[in-house]
A and B are shown apart, each in its own frame.
Chain A
Amino acid sequence: MDIAFIIEKLILISAILAISLVIAMYTTLAERKFAGFFQDRVGPNRAGPWGLLQPLADGVKLFTKEEIIPTHAGTFLFVLGPSLSMFTACITTAVIPWGQDLFLFGRNISLQVADINVGVLYVFGVVSLGVYGVMIGGWASNNKFSLLAAVRSASQNISYEIAMGLSIIALLMMTGTLSLREISEQQSGMNWNIFYQPLGFLIFMICSFAETNRTPFDLPECETELVGGHHTEYSSMKLGFYLFAEYINMFVSSAIMASLYFGGYNYPGMHLISNPNVAALIGVAAFFTKILLFIFFFIWVRWTVPRFRYDQLMKLGWKVLIPLAIINIALTGAGILFFGK
């Protein structure tokens, strides 16, 4: 544990944090802009060229708004809710491998904050913690709508986490490892897991829509029924944290989908580039391209598919996705048995 190692990791952590915050910031703009495009409008275009300063204006607006804590709300938990939401959204990025190792200053710099051998489990653990932010916030608000949203969110996450976990099991049977780095390495070139696990990917993707509370599964903040859902009572930057955490979650789950199923930082023709640093940097770019495409897909789906009714949501989770995921495991097992992967 030398000092250079600590500096290297600190720089990496700050860079990743900054990148994920900036991407989340601009995803808010992209969401509004694309929402406009999908509806034959132009979207926000006043702040800066093409509205590029809009996220900044939104941030300033949220920061300068009055902070209201309702009299009957539990103050500590009320503050803890959005903080936890934001915190869990940010720490998931720690295990994602952003690229191959770089060789700089005679050192081998890994573009991953922590290559822990239970990476996938870590992601799952943190993602399930994320629902506490919504739950605590909704409960501490002391508001019926918020509480309903919190309950919905909790049950939704529990139901979809099962299917998500099951769909991952099929993947793990193939890869034989829980480390995200090793999973990425195994998919070098075009050997992506999506070609072996299309059904698993479909289930995983649907579940990640549910986990990030995006439409068609955005029941916790269903405006038509629950006013603002879990953030009804929130104002100022605490509201901003909730909204922001959703976009960071979107970024993170895009990154996970890309690294689990779409080859992570791998791209076709990777071995042809002789300079390892250049190859790694192109890999990072390829990874971010995949992530951004997924984010675009999230937005695209949001402005296409209407929201599920609550019973439909539960039915889809328990009666469709979980059996499908189990069938997928059986199919994968049979595939491994007969074709040896």
Chain B
Amino acid sequence: MNSLTNRKKVLESKKMNFWERIYLPAILHGLSITMKHFFKKKTTIYYPEQKREFSENFRGLHSLKRDENGAERCTACGLCALSCPAEAITMTAAERKPGEEHLYREEKYASVYEINMLRCIFCGFCEEACPKAAIFLDGDIAKAGYKRDEFIFGKDKLVEPIVK
């Protein structure tokens, strides 16, 4: 019976002839193939020493940015936490005291800013939501760790160092 699409292919299963049935030629052919691979250039990237280049839009670890004067841009508006689908971001806001203008750009800042890297899915929504251009996912790939609390990144790990 013809199939409706007429695209059916009937596979032939030919009986193997004697030469094929003794398998040895096929095994020798296989051996020659593996031998070719033996001398091929290896594609391995020796990871900790060599690193593969990230693409332009690669999303890695977060960093909290500073402005041109070295003051933290984040104003603890909470939009990143709100946009976060994994609910990985928590923060506590605080008011800037007089004399701290060089530390924080706005009058309100995040005294605690934590991202749980075990929850984070690196979607980049926080980056998109941020009105102050304070958070970017431009870091390295997330590190491994032995304990769960090593993965809760506070401001000590997130805020980018002051460039002199």
Contacts and interface: CB of A to CB of B under 8 A. Distances in A.
A40 B37 contact: yes
A305 interface: yes
A300 B44 contact: no
A40 B40 contact: yes
Nearest to A297: B31
Contacts of B31: 300-301, 304
B43 interface: yes
Interface stretch (A31-39, A106-114, A154-162): A31-39
A41 B43 CA distance: 7
B35 A300 contact: yes
Contact of A40 (B27, B42, B46): B42
A41 B34 contact: no
Nearest to A37: B38
Given A42-B42, A42-B44, A37 B30 contact: no
A303 interface: yes
Interface in A34-59: 34, 36-42, 45
A38 to B, nearest CB: 5
Interface in B18-51: 27, 30-31, 33-35, 37-40, 42-44, 46
Contact of B30 (A34, A41, A305): A305
A42 B38 CA distance: 10
B53 to A, nearest CB: 20
Given A41-B44, A42-B44, A304 B30 contact: yes
A59 B144 CA distance: 27
Contacts of B43: 40
Given A304-B27, A305-B27, A39 B37 contact: yes
Contacts of B27: 304-305
Interface residues of A, number: 14
Contacts of A304: 27, 30-31, 33-34
A34 B38 contact: yes
A301 B30 CA distance: 9
Nearest to B26: A305
Highest count of chain B CB atoms <10 Å: which of A34, A36, A45, A305:
A305
Range, interface on chain B: 10 to 19
Contacts of B38: 34, 37-38
Contacts of B35: 300
A102 to B, nearest CB: 37
A38 B37 contact: yes
Contacts of B30: 304-305
A303 B27 CA distance: 12
Nearest to A301: B31
Interface in A218-238: none
A174 B33 CA distance: 36
Nearest to B21: A320
Nearest to A41: B44
A45 B27 CA distance: 30
Interface in A13-45: 34, 36-42, 45
Interface string A106-132: 000000000000000000000000000
Contacts of B33: 304
A309 B43 CA distance: 33
Contacts of A303: 34
Interface string A146-187: 000000000000000000000000000000000000000000
B37 A37 contact: yes
14 contacts: A36-B42, A37-B39, A38-B37, A38-B38, A39-B37, A40-B43, A40-B44, A42-B42, A45-B46, A303-B34, A304-B31, A304-B33, A304-B34, A305-B30
Interface of B: 27, 30-31, 33-35, 37-40, 42-44, 46
Given A38-B37, A304-B33, A304-B34, 11 more contacts: A37-B37, A38-B38, A40-B40, A40-B42, A40-B43, A40-B44, A41-B44, A300-B35, A304-B27, A304-B30, A305-B27
